[in-house]
A and B are shown apart, each in its own frame.
Chain A
């Protein structure tokens, strides 16, 4: 399988890109340290950078204030460093996305597997629960539930700690994110369960657990992986969306999505501000999807590559 994957050039390249993103995100504090800036300081107010922003609070330099000092430019109005904002923003988004995707995949596979393998009444009721969750309009409920879930943990008068926001976002996205995969897994398990190789395993005395693990699971790894590689980028986009409309992460936590929100405010005056987060997001989502395709091909022994 590994050999087959290595032969796929697109897969290897996109794997490298995705890996680079994760490494950069994980090492964000280190890079920021070497680079000598952080995403919280308002550099426009620092005495050593007197002319960072002009009278309209826009970056003075060309291309959004890009310079040897501020690689990706300066944020309009507050004058923060875009490069470190992006680094830390990616870090927030990627961590969140990995967490949410893992939870969704585990829940989805578990529920789908149980309802597909046991069938009958179990399947019926789990199916209804899945339907119930599917019936929620996702985007609306993200927006509506975020304040509710936050209020469950902390009084609206107090300031919400960042970790609570993380928990709230994770919970909301988890509860509304696992159904697609559960359906998919259930369907695959239903067809596989009736296949004769499962019966052959039964005849040899295999336990249900072994049948699930050795006979069924390897056959549904492909759809699970493909679905997971769709969930992860879309989770990043959803988190970005939540932050964009103001119910996700709030200032001063650096976040990918909120960078777009700021960028959208000022895109007429400072289009460069949107450029770097945008390119970074497009490249990431694209290479992650390509990676998913390659992994699927590598897992399937029937593809000729």
Chain B
């Protein structure tokens, strides 16, 4: 992953200009899942801090990527925003109105504008309904009668997502994973949404299909001007798709910025580690000039997260200050506008190879030492 990546012109301009209108504003979003224990009377003994104090904005027509390793709270964030879960704290604002604790009826006008694409195309489609019924039902729920009838609209949507409109009466099990995910996309588009939360929409698909679906989403995003919150753990996909990227670690956003800033000028050590973990092909003629960082251990338990900076237990730059003070998510010197980092001791804004690799994993170190001998 080199620095001098040229971006498609029209996207580059979109990312450079600040989004004109804020569609979704998330402030201090928190979700704690209670943990019960004790005998014989069960009581709350702790909480899984799945999402803790997350700030995020998505502009109209903008595509924001949310990345992080498994279990860091990405999906929970998505589910909180679509209000599938009740947030413990914080505030979710959609187009200027507070929907944090809105009931189903209060949400009704907003529902059609926020839609979701799910991770698993096999469980996200009701096996007992035909494709037509699946795509039609959001329209029925919201009482939308498009011109020419719902069936015509469904056929249009099927065509839009690259499926044959003849498939109207088929059942989901007759389709492949990629086709099913297209059906899921069509369902999300049925209500003409303004914001789509895509929860790892391609991670369950094989690589050749991933590209098709991502390109479909990109087409949809550009043609229909829909804002996306694209949740993924595949950095390459997010880089391809998103204008802005937020990096999450253990329930917190550690770095957020436009695509170029995050991928070429990352400041947070975790972002460095994440980028360095992306596999890339290098030949002997063109040796890799990337930095090499290998973290050790697992993500700490979200029930008892580390004090201060949550990454400090795995960080090679951690000092006493990191344990006592929570680093604020701010713009650090040398960052572009809108590039915020939560770190006391940020890294250099480059991903070029260092003098010495950072290998924290003792097993890997041992392995490499024996290799040298």
Contact = CB atoms under 8 A, between A and B. Distances in A.
Contacts of B112: 204-205
A203 B142 CA distance: 11
Return the 4 tightest CB-CB contacts between A and B, nearest first.
Answer: A205-B111, A204-B138, A196-B124, A218-B128
B293 interface: no
A195 B123 CA distance: 6
Interface string A170-201: 00000000000000000000000001110111
B115 interface: yes
A204 B142 contact: yes
Contact of A197 (B104, B111, B125): B125
B127 A205 contact: no
25 contacts: A195-B123, A196-B118, A196-B120, A196-B124, A197-B123, A197-B124, A197-B134, A199-B118, A200-B124, A200-B184, A201-B137, A203-B82, A203-B111, A203-B114, A203-B115, A204-B111, A204-B115, A204-B191, A205-B111, A206-B141, A214-B129, A215-B126, A218-B128, A301-B171, A302-B173
A206 B112 CA distance: 11
B128 A301 contact: yes
A204 B187 CA distance: 9
A302 B127 contact: yes
A205 B141 CA distance: 7
Contact of B141 (A199, A210, A218): A210
Contact of A301 (B108, B114, B173): B173
Contact of A200 (B108, B118, B128, B173): B118
B116 A203 contact: yes
A202 B84 contact: yes
A218 B115 contact: no
Nearest to B82: A203
Contacts of A219: 126-128
A207 interface: yes
B171 A205 contact: no
A197 B125 CA distance: 5
Given A197-B123, A203-B111, A205-B141, A218 B129 contact: yes
B49 interface: no
Contacts of A199: 79, 84, 116, 118, 124
Nearest to B173: A302
A199 B115 CA distance: 11
Interface string A141-170: 000000000000000000000000000000
B167 to A, nearest CB: 14
Contacts of A196: 118-120, 123-124
A137 to B, nearest CB: 30
B40 to A, nearest CB: 15
Size class of the contact patch on chain B: 20 to 34
Nearest to A219: B128
B303 interface: no
Contacts of B128: 218-219, 301
A206 B120 CA distance: 20
B211 interface: no
B107 interface: yes
A219 B129 CA distance: 9
B86 to A, nearest CB: 12
B132 to A, nearest CB: 14
B123 to A, nearest CB: 5
Nearest to B115: A203
Given A205-B111, A301-B128, 11 more contacts: A199-B116, A199-B118, A200-B124, A201-B141, A203-B115, A204-B141, A205-B107, A205-B141, A210-B141, A218-B126, A218-B128
Nearest to B107: A205
A200 B124 CA distance: 7
B350 to A, nearest CB: 40
A66 to B, nearest CB: 51
Interface string B121-149: 00111111100001001100110000000
Given A196-B119, A199-B118, A302-B173, A205 B187 contact: no
Contacts of B116: 199-200, 203
A117 B127 CA distance: 19
A194 to B, nearest CB: 9
A214 B138 CA distance: 12
Contacts of B119: 196
A210 B128 CA distance: 15
A212 to B, nearest CB: 13
Interface in B231-289: none
Contacts of B137: 201, 204, 206, 214
A111 B29 CA distance: 37
Nearest to A204: B138
B246 to A, nearest CB: 21
B104 A207 contact: yes
Interface in B92-117: 104, 107-108, 111-112, 114-116
B321 to A, nearest CB: 42
Contacts of B173: 301-302
A197 B134 CA distance: 9
B41 to A, nearest CB: 15
Contacts of B184: 200
Nearest to B120: A196
A199 B79 CA distance: 9
Contacts of A210: 141
B370 to A, nearest CB: 46
Contacts of B127: 219, 301-302
Contacts of A301: 127-128, 171, 173
A201 B142 CA distance: 11
Contacts of A203: 82, 84, 111, 114-116
Contacts of B124: 195-197, 199-200
Nearest to B125: A197
Interface string B171-200: 101000000000010010001000000000
A197 B115 CA distance: 13
Interface string A132-146: 000000000000000
A204 B111 CA distance: 6
A205 B123 contact: no
Given A218-B126, A218-B128, A205 B118 contact: no
